[in-house]
């Protein structure tokens, strides 16, 4: 702490004992003011810096929303970045020394954050035929090709299913397409049974563009909470929702 001429003059007139006490008090107050509170909110500030609270976009790319997603899903993704099943340099760096317990604490924090979704822009350059194909894949799948409907795993409202299945609405088309493409190109993995890798490899580029285009313009429902269960068993075995 710097002592200014005015402060030195003041301290000189009040005696050495009181001077020391006052100096220590001021120093302690400065140190206390600089102390960062050790709370989960403070520790996840680095996450919010990129992801925002409702998702964000910048010149570096799109950062998906964390708020309100199922805790199990968030934990699985953090663990996958740490353990090499997903690849993003910043995420790998931030998670590589974190324990499962810490990752789970972070996931549970964000899962409990309840914030409104931004309004979805319904504008699209996709043709009516493309959107029709995307809707069919999302709501009915393609049984002849072994492709289950999105709603069969992600819930009727497509807002995810606790504990481990994420929502598909409120996301931009390019982000949805890039993630589906990552399963197709073997750049993204999950713990076995890795259902999305199995499904993703059955999709072609037209399928990905169609379903991403349709999902991206669907309005987010009033109830954005993930479903607690599915009305029927999963059509495929999946580590996100163990049978």
pLDDT tens string, the chain, 243 residues long: the values are 555 555 555 445 555 555 455 455 656 655 555 677 889 999 999 999 999 988 887 777 899 999 999 999 999 999 999 999 999 999 999 999 999 999 999 999 999 999 999 999 999 999 999 999 999 999 999 999 999 999 999 999 999 999 999 999 999 999 999 999 999 898 999 999 999 999 999 999 999 999 999 999 999 999 999 999 999 999 999 999 976
Are residues 114 and 68 in contact, defined by beta-carbon separation less than 8 angstroms?
yes
- Give the domain-ending residue among 78, 100, 115: 115
Nearest to 150 by CA among 193, 199, 194: 199
Q: Please indicate, yes or no, if residue 9 is contained in any of the structural domains.
A: no
Query: Domain of 54?
Result: 36-115
Residues 107 and 140 in one domain: no
The domain spanning residue 98 has which CATH number? 1.10.760.10
Residues 229 and 150 in one domain: yes
- Give the domain-ending residue among 86, 115, 144: 115
How far CA 126 is from CA of 133, 209, 236, in Å, comes to 11, 9, 30
Q: Please indicate, yes or no, if residue 103 is contained in any of the structural domains.
A: yes
Specify the 3-state DSSP secondary structure of 169. Answer: coil
Q: Please indicate, yes or no, if residue 241 is contained in any of the structural domains.
A: no
């Amino acid at each position: 702490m710097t002592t200014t001429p005015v402060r030195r003059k003041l301290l000189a007139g009040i005696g050495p004992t009181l001077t020391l006490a006052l100096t220590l008090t001021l120093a302690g107050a400065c140190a206390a003011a600089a102390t960062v509170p050790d709370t989960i909110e403070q520790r996840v500030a680095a996450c919010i810096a990129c992801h925002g609270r409702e998702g964000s976009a910048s010149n570096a790319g799109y950062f998906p929303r964390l708020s309100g997603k199922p805790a199990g899903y968030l934990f699985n993704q953090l663990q996958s970045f740490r353990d090499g099943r997903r690849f993003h340099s910043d995420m790998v760096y931030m998670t590589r020394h974190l324990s499962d317990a810490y990752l789970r604490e972070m996931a549970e924090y964000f899962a409990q954050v309840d914030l409104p979704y931004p309004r979805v822009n319904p504008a699209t350059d996709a043709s009516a035929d493309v959107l029709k194909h995307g809707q069919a894949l999302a709501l009915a799948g393609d049984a002849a090709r072994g492709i289950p409907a999105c709603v069969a795993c992600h819930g009727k409202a497509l807002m995810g299913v606790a504990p481990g299945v994420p929502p598909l609405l409120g996301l931009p088309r390019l982000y949805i397409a890039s993630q589906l493409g990552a399963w197709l190109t073997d750049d993204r993995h999950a713990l076995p049974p890795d259902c999305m890798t199995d499904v993703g490899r059955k999709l072609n580029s037209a399928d990905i563009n169609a379903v991403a285009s349709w999902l991206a313009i669907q309005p987010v429902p009033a109830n954005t909470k993930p479903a607690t269960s599915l009305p029927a068993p999963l059509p495929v075995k999946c580590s996100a929702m163990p049978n």
